[in-house]
Structure formats: structure tokens, C-alpha cells
A = this chain, B = another copy of it.
Amino acid sequence: MASKLANSSPVAALAGGVGGAKFATGLQETLPPGALTVIVNTGDDFEHWGLTICPDIDTVLYGLAGVNNPQTGWGRDRETWDVLAEIERLGGEAWFRLGDKDLALHLLRNQWLKAGANLTLVTDRLRRKLDVPSRVLPMCNEPVRTLVHTDEGDLPFQDYFVRRRCEPAFRGLTFVGAAKATLTPEVAELLRAAAQIIICPSNPYLSVDPILSVPGLRQLVRDSDAPVVAVSPIVGGRAVKGPVAKMMREMGHLNHLPLTIVEHYGDLLDGFVLDRQDRAEESRLTLPALTTDTIMTGLSSKQRLAAEVLQFGRSLIDG
């Protein structure tokens, strides 16, 4: 752990989609502009209509830009659907819902990727176009694709998540391509310089593990002098959003889910943040814990939680 955290010291957040984006938005509003960098899962990425789709990056970008759809948690606000309707009319694939505004960003990404820019550079250009003050880094530039092992066989992530609505029983994951992925200089530099590292309330298996699977990344988090704090995605034994609790049950974890998550992260963590509803679990944890209200609704609850988590992290340095 480093010495006392300056107010503008770099903060690194590891995030998946909706929950990660909400918490990152709270961090951004709490920290000085530019202090936050979010490392985002790209294991959910896939090709659709010949375009590279990066669901988690876009959810984080739209959240940080304040142009997200607050109802769905993904996609753009005040969205229109003219292209999708016409693709459907032409008999094309319409199961993955890309709106018109969303598509505009995808076409810019497509143009720049085709011109040879890597995903880190493309994402940085997009966040500038969206006037996002925080940096957003893909976990790596190479394609890593999460393959979900289920009782109905192996499913590419979006097939499991969108088409099948996470219905097949979860058996495990493979992050295809992770072994050949390369830690980017931007991620490495961030993790070496970070004064705090925060694992957002994202799915540990689907959203955070792919990030940690990039060779060398987990080691950098573990070796960091900065306090590493994870925020629980579980509230009252259930997931706030997404299939994490269902997946944990299918892995045989029926109770004490916060403890299971802490054990899953293992030696990475210096502290853990859990919800008041799981207060009874705190005594089982063998690391410093902050129990608070982790449900984020409006911006003020995001900011309040972010400030508490940052203060908790600082306390781990000071203490």
C-alpha cells in the first residue's frame, strides 16, 4: 500500500456492464476529472452484422457520458430503432437490439478498427467524442470471447445471455483467446500508478474474471501497493442485476454468497464492501469490510456509495 492518497491520485476500476457502469459513474462524479480510469471486460464482445460489438465498454461509456438508457441499463437514451426494424423486415438477424444512436457509435468504431487502430485507441476516441472525462480501457486489444459451459452444451456468451436469457444451468467458463492476449501498456501503467484499485459490483465470473485472465493483469493487481477493494454485486443473497446469484447456485453456492465472492477473489483483496442486507455475513469475512447501502438508484446514491468506498480504501492505507 502506498502512502496517503492524494485527492487527484489515479483510481483504477475494474468493471463489467450495468452494475460496473453505475458505480463507475459514481466514482467519476466524486473524483476530480481525469482521476478515474475504468478497465472494462471485453469477454462479452462479439461480431454482429459484421461489426465488433463491445457491450460492456459501451454501457460504461454511455453511463459515464450520461447518455445511457436508465430503464434498461444498456443502450442509449431517447433511442430510435429504424435500422433494426428494416433489418428485421429484410429477414436479417434482429435478436440483438442495436438502436440507431447506438449504431452510430458502432459505425465509428468499425471505421477506426478497419483503418488499423487498436481497441484501446478506438475506445479512447469514442469517450472523447462522448465528452467522458474518465479514461476507459478495454482489458486488452485482442479478441477474448467468453464461452459458457452449460448443461445444454457450450454457448458463446451472447447466446447464453441474450438469446437464452441465462436459462441453461451454468457449469463453467472458458475465456477463449485469453492466453494469447497481451497486457496493454495503458492497463499496465494504470495498475502500477493507481492509488486505489476498485473492483466494481460486477459479476465476478462473467465480468471480472475475463479481465483478470489477461496474462499478467492479475499479478499487477495483487502486487500493487494500492488498496484493492471489491464491491459486492450481491444484495440480500440475490444479484442486483444479471445472473450472478443463479450462476452461484448452479455452482453449489447456496448461502454466504459474499464470503464466496471474497474467497473467489482470493489474495487480490484488501477490503470488501457488502450491503446492509448481508450484514450477517460480515463476521465470516477475514478481511476489512465496509457494510453500507450498495443499491444505486439515482446519481446521488451512486456518488454516496462511491465516496464511502473511496474513503474505505483510504482507511486501509492510513490504518
Name A's B-contacting residues (CB within 8 A): 47-51, 80, 82-84, 86-87, 89-93, 100-101, 103-105, 107-108, 110-115, 129-130
Q: How far is the CB of A283 from chain B (nearest CB, A)?
A: 50
Chain B residues closer than 8 Å to A101, beta-carbon distance: 82-83, 86
**Contact between A129 and B83, CB atoms less than 8 A apart:** no
Apart from A50-B113, A83-B100, what 6 extra A-B contacts exist at CB < 8 Å? A50-B107, A86-B100, A86-B105, A87-B104, A92-B107, A92-B111
Chain B residues closer than 8 Å to A107, beta-carbon distance: 49-51, 83, 87, 92
Chain B residues closer than 8 Å to A129, beta-carbon distance: 90-92
Q: Which of A48, A87, A110 has the most CB of B within 10 A?
A: A87
Chain B residues closer than 8 Å to A87, beta-carbon distance: 104, 107-108
Q: How far is the CB of A169 from chain B (nearest CB, A)?
A: 31
**20 A-B pairs with C-beta separation under 8 A:** A48-B111, A50-B111, A50-B113, A50-B114, A51-B107, A51-B110, A82-B83, A82-B100, A82-B101, A83-B107, A84-B104, A86-B104, A87-B104, A87-B107, A89-B104, A91-B129, A92-B107, A92-B111, A92-B129, A103-B103
**Contact between A108 and B82, CB atoms less than 8 A apart:** no
Q: Which of A83, A105, A114 has the most CB of B within 10 A?
A: A83
Shortest Cβ distance from A113 into B: residue = B50
- Choose among B47, B49, B50, B108 the residue that contacts A90 (Cβ–Cβ < 8 A): B108
Shortest Cβ distance from A109 into B: residue = B50
Chain B residues closer than 8 Å to A90, beta-carbon distance: 104-105, 108, 129-130
- Choose among B48, B83, B112 the residue that contacts A104 (Cβ–Cβ < 8 A): B83
- Choose among B83, B93, B113 the residue that contacts A103 (Cβ–Cβ < 8 A): B83
Q: How far is the CB of A118 from chain B (nearest CB, A)?
A: 15
Chain B residues closer than 8 Å to A105, beta-carbon distance: 86, 90
Chain B residues closer than 8 Å to A83, beta-carbon distance: 82-83, 100-101, 103-104, 107
Q: How far is the CB of A213 from chain B (nearest CB, A)?
A: 26
Q: How far is the CA of A49 from the CA of B107 in the complex (A)?
A: 5
